[in-house]
Amino acid sequence: QQQVKQSPQSLIVQKGGISIINCAYENTAFDYFPWYQQFPGKGPALLIAIRPDVSEKKEGRFTISFNKSAKQFSLHIMDSQPGDSATYFCAASEGETSGSRLTFGEGTQLTVNP
Amino acid sequence: DAGITQSPRHKVTETGTPVTLRCHQTENHRYMYWYRQDPGHGLRLIHYSYGVKDTDKGEVSDGYSVSRSKTEDFLLTLESATSSQTSVYFCAISESTASGGQETQYFGPGTRLLVL
């Protein structure tokens, strides 16, 4: 049972373009939504995270948009660069004291062409 | 990789043999996790630990056991390896916050396991 659904599976963007990856969740108790970036042969690394008390969070070229009523959140990468080519995972967890059991989306393989 | 090492990094084994993967951390973090990563499934939690000798099951725990006898080490054992356990295994760690919750999870470099 996949509680976090991620789309698209793969995405190709030109350098300088905007990359958008979407996630939808089912569990309304989720209250922490991180995005992880993974390069080939490496472990995932936290990119940016949001809690549902805000609708948007921006860090440099990376922005999370959060829609609580629709149970959706998305990652926007502005001015995409070839170095952003990686696999991106959204995730969600429930409650700070619940063991931080992250539920991950299926992943999106992003390719940014020069 | 945030003071996390995994060993071995690559392993080929045969069906029916036991396999143990090791995760070692130098951060003295309280929480440790084992995930498996498979195409189309993202990362799925196998087991996690919230302290020495304190462990609990995750989403895909069947066929796996864990042990944590020291803060720094978390072992994952495949009791009798099957081809369906061919995967990339990641260990992660996190620390507790002042309010008793968990902070960001940091992942190790992974172990690629092939079961023939």
Q: What is the span of the domain harbouring residue B102?
A: 4-115
Q: Which of B91, B90, B109, B87 is nearest to B11 (CA)?
A: B87
Q: Closest chain A residue to B54 measured between Cα atoms?
A: A99
pLDDT of residue A98: 41
- Domain CATH for B41: 2.60.40.10
Average pLDDT, chain B: 92
User: What are A25-42's pLDDT values in tens digits?
Assistant: 999 888 889 999 999 999
User: What are B44-69's pLDDT values in tens digits?
Assistant: 999 999 899 999 999 899 999 999 99
Q: Which of B72, B75, B73, B89 is nearest to B10 (CA)?
A: B89
User: What are A48-106's pLDDT values in tens digits?
Assistant: 998 888 899 999 999 999 999 999 999 999 999 999 999 999 999 886 544 467 899 99
Q: Which of B105, B106, B111, B112 is the best substitution to test chain A (most A C-beta atoms within 10 A)?
A: B105
**Comparing A63-72, B7-16, B93-102, which segment has the lowest mean pLDDT?**
B93-102
Report the alpha-carbon distance of residue A106 to residue B6 in Å, rounded. 23
Q: What's the angle, vertex CA A32, arms to CA B102 and CA A103, rounded to 5?
A: 85
**Shortest Cα distance, chain A CAs vs residue B73, angstroms:** 18
Closest partner residue to B42 among A49, A101, A104, by Cβ? A104
DSSP β-bridge partners for residue B102: B96
Domain count of the fold of chain B:
1
Number of A–B residue contacts, CB under 8 Å: 64
What burial letters (b/e) apply to A27-36, b meaning 16+ CB within 10 Å? eeebbbbbbb
Contact between chains at A101 and B45 (C-beta distance less than 8 A): yes
Report the alpha-carbon distance of residue B33 to residue B35 in Å, rounded. 7
Q: What is the span of the domain harbouring residue A103?
A: 4-113
What percentage of chain B carries pLDDT values higher than 90?
78
Residue B75 falls in which region: left (phi positive, over 0), alpha (psi -120 to 50) or beta: beta
Residues 6 or more apart from A49 whose CB is under 8 A from it? Answer: A32, A33, A34, A35, A57, A64, B104
- Domain CATH for A61: 2.60.40.10
Closest partner residue to B1 among A43, A89, A105, by Cβ? A43
Domain count of the fold of chain A:
1
Three-class DSSP category at B61: coil
